[in-house]
Structures are given as C-alpha cells and as structure tokens.
Amino acid sequence: MKALLLHKPAPIETSPLQEEEIPTPRPKEKEVLIKVEYCGVCHTDLHLVEGEIIPPSYPVIPGHQVVGKIEKTGEKVTRWKTGERVGIPWFYSSCGRCKFCRKGKENLCNKAQFTGFHVNGGYAEYAVADQDSVYLLPEKYPGENVAPLLCGGVIGYRALKLTPLLRGETLGIFGFGASGHIVLQIAKYFNLRVFVFTRSEKHQEVARELGADWVGKPDSSPPELLDGAIIFAPAGELVPIALGNIEKGGTLTLAGIYMTPIPSLEYPLLYQERIIRSVANSTREDVRELLDIAGKTPLKTVVEVFPWQEANQVLQKLKTSQLKASAVLKF
Ligand SMILES: [Zn+2]
Ligand SMILES: [Zn+2]
C-alpha cells in the first residue's frame, strides 16, 4: 500500500512526510483492516510532524480522523463485518485497570494510546485497528463530512459535557473553529441558547447561519450573563474576559491541548463558586455519544478536500492559517 511516513520530525516547509510503498498490514486476531477513504487533518498532526509532540517510535503514519470501509477482519473479530463503514478517532486504547480507567476516565490513563501517534493512523491507503477502537459511522454523512466529527467534534462534545447546563440556559463559545461549529449545533439540539464570541467576521456570519442566538467579538459584552462557557481558542487572555461574563456558579471549560499563559485573575472574577476546568482527549463513550447525536440531528461540517499526496502542503496551509475550513485528505 501507499502511505505517508514520518521518519524524523522537521519543519513542515521541508515536507517531512514521505510517500512510500510499504506492505499492507495484516489484521491480528482482534483487529480489522480498513480501506481508508478519507482522513481529516488536525493541528495535532502538525505538532507531530514538527516534533512538538514525540511519538514512542518512528517511522509513524499520522492521521486520527480516519474514515473507511472494513476490508478484512481478524479471526476473533465478533463486532464487525466486511463492508461496514467505520471511523478511527484519536483515542485508541487504555490499560483498562488503573484508577482512571476504573472511574471511566480512560482519557487520563497513563498508558492511553492515540491513533496516528502510538499506533499508525490514516495517512495511508489502509489502516489496521483493534475492533474496540473503531466506530460505526452514521449513514447519512458523506465520508469527508464525517471525518471532522472524529476529533474536533468529539473534543467539542466532551467540552460541552463537562460544562453543566440546563435546557434554556446560555452557553458561550469563544473561538469558532472546527470544534466550535459542531458544538454550536449540538448545543442547539440540546435546547441551549448559544452566544458565539469570535473576531472573524466570516466566522460570525457562519455562527448566525448555524443558529447562534447572539454573536459578537471576544471583548464585547453579551446581552446577558453566560451560565457556562467553553474557550476553544488557545488564547489565555480570553480566560478573565470569559469569566467576567459568567454567572455565579458557572463553569468555564478550556478545550485546547495548548493555551498561551493565563493572565493573573482578580479573585472576584472567580468567587461565587465559578469553576475553571480543562479537557484532555476523550473517551470511547464520548465518541459513541457524539456519533449517536450526529445520527439523530444533521451536524454540518465545513470541509476542504485535498488529494492525500498533498498532505505536506495541506499541513503548511494549516500552519499559516490558509485553510478556509477543516481539511480532509481523500484516498
Ligand atoms: Zn485531532
Ligand atoms: Zn488505565
């Protein structure tokens, strides 16, 4: 099969991903072989390629928003049949025994493994995965539109779950990228009122089209206090701004894996039982629940599709903010 391998991290401008012909992997007893149709491109892939995060070994095949059809199943696979359309997300597996796993917090397991990092991902014509690490995809979505649900969508959904809100209450979303788009739609499905804070006029327009109840710049005052908020932008200076707009007892959830330093806070911003929390990765349950919601209500994802051979260039565009939407590679 053809695959894009990373032998050594390097600046993306030097095209570190190499196209190579390697043997198609054979599924072990409990694994499935997936013929990849689409794979989403994520900021984490860029961090991996440029060496900001270091995988246990090289070469590695990146890609953790993998969409494809099952081509072959291992001898002991019970859950899947050939021809089924499935996805592989970022969370791949965990130890299942530690205190985190026992509490349903497998995303925090010290031995957690991630797709396209600990195990090879979807920047290839084929991928193998454990039968418990793949998910049936809702039928009504074209492959390119379902791919972004597998990372941005899942993280966004987890962030929303960790921000306790009742029907009719108001959620603030700061930063309107891949996750923000999807969370807005899920929040509307849950009958929340949604206020979107984003600098970009284009994003403000899209937020209105997708049903936002109010849209404004990050430093503008919303018409009423927020009952909870999520920050998707990696900008620490948004923390005091968001907190200043949050109602007593409300939660502010920080959804990024990276954030610039958070400025010092005046205690009254936090007092009255306001909570700040972060989100790390996701669990299998998050993926299943999100895909279930996606099956019940159409979630729109805005994508730009590229031939897989252009992965290096696409990652360069991602680095320099030249992408209009979530990028997806087609195989
Ligand atoms: Zn990702
Ligand atoms: Zn564990």
Residue 323: pLDDT band with limits 50, 70, 90? confident
Q: What is the mean pLDDT of the chain?
A: 96
Say what percent of the chain tops pLDDT 90.
94
Q: Give the helix ranges, DSSP H, for the chain.
A: 43-49, 99-102, 143-146, 152-161, 178-189, 201-209, 238-243, 267-270, 284-296, 311-319
The Å distance, Cα 117 to ligand 2 centre, comes to: 17
Q: If DSSP codes are grouped into helix, strand and coil, which group holds residue 171?
A: strand
Residue 324: pLDDT band with limits 50, 70, 90? confident
Residue 328 or residue 234, greater confidence = 328
Question: Contact, 68 vs 34, CB < 8 A?
Answer: yes
pLDDT by residue (tens digit) across 249-307?
999 999 988 899 999 999 999 999 999 999 999 999 999 999 999 999 999 998 999 99
Cα 57 from Cα 275, distance rounded (Å):
38
Residue with tokens 């499905």: 189
The Å distance, Cα 45 to ligand 1 centre, comes to: 7
Cα 43 from Cα 90, distance rounded (Å):
12
The Å distance, Cα 257 to ligand 1 centre, comes to: 10
The Å distance, Cα 102 to ligand 2 centre, comes to: 7
The per-residue DSSP string of 12-62 comes to GGG--EEEEE-PPPPP-TTEEEEEEEEEE--HHHHHHHTTSS--SSSSB--
Q: Give the number of the ligand closest to the Cα of residue 179.
A: 1
Q: Give the number of the ligand closest to the Cα of residue 48.
A: 1
Q: Give the number of the ligand closest to the Cα of residue 121.
A: 1
Contacts of 176 (CB under 8 A, 6+ apart): 184, 196, 198, 200, 203, 204, 206, 207, 232
- DSSP 8-state symbol, 308: G
The Å distance, Cα 108 to ligand 2 centre, comes to: 7
Domain boundaries, the chain: 2-150+283-330, 163-278
Half-sphere exposure of 131 (CA within 13 A, CB side): 17
pLDDT by residue (tens digit) across 235-249?
999 999 999 999 999
CATH 3.90.1150.10 fits 2-150+283-330, yes or no: no
Closest CA to 154 of 111, 188, 117, 107: 107
Q: Give the number of the ligand closest to the Cα of residue 102.
A: 2
Closest CA to 119 of 133, 106, 105: 133
Task: Say what the pTM is.
Answer: 0.94
The Å distance, Cα 283 to ligand 2 centre, comes to: 12
Burial 139-148 (b: 16+ CB within 10 A, else e): eebebbbbbb
Neighbours of 123 (CB within 10 A): 28
Contacts of 78 (CB under 8 A, 6+ apart): 131
Q: Say if strands 303-307 and 326-330 run parallel, antiparallel, or are unpaired.
A: parallel
pLDDT by residue (tens digit) across 17-27?
999 999 999 99
The Å distance, Cα 241 to ligand 2 centre, comes to: 36
The Å distance, Cα 256 to ligand 1 centre, comes to: 11
The per-residue DSSP string of 180-205 comes to HHHHHHHHHHTT-EEEEE-S-HHHHH
CA distances from 213 to 166, 181, 192, 253 (A): 16, 14, 9, 20
pLDDT by residue (tens digit) across 69-85?
999 999 999 999 999 99
The Å distance, Cα 35 to ligand 2 centre, comes to: 30
| Residues constituting the chain | 331
Domain boundaries 163-278, corresponding CATH code: 3.40.50.720
Q: Give the number of the ligand closest to the Cα of residue 107.
A: 2
Contacts of 239 (CB under 8 A, 6+ apart): 231, 252, 254, 262, 263, 265, 276
pLDDT by residue (tens digit) across 128-173?
999 999 999 999 899 999 999 999 999 999 999 999 999 999 999 9
pLDDT of residue 177: 86
Q: Give the number of the ligand closest to the Cα of residue 113.
A: 2
The Å distance, Cα 125 to ligand 2 centre, comes to: 31
Half-sphere exposure of 326 (CA within 13 A, CB side): 29
Q: Give the number of the ligand closest to the Cα of residue 178.
A: 1
The Å distance, Cα 91 to ligand 1 centre, comes to: 10
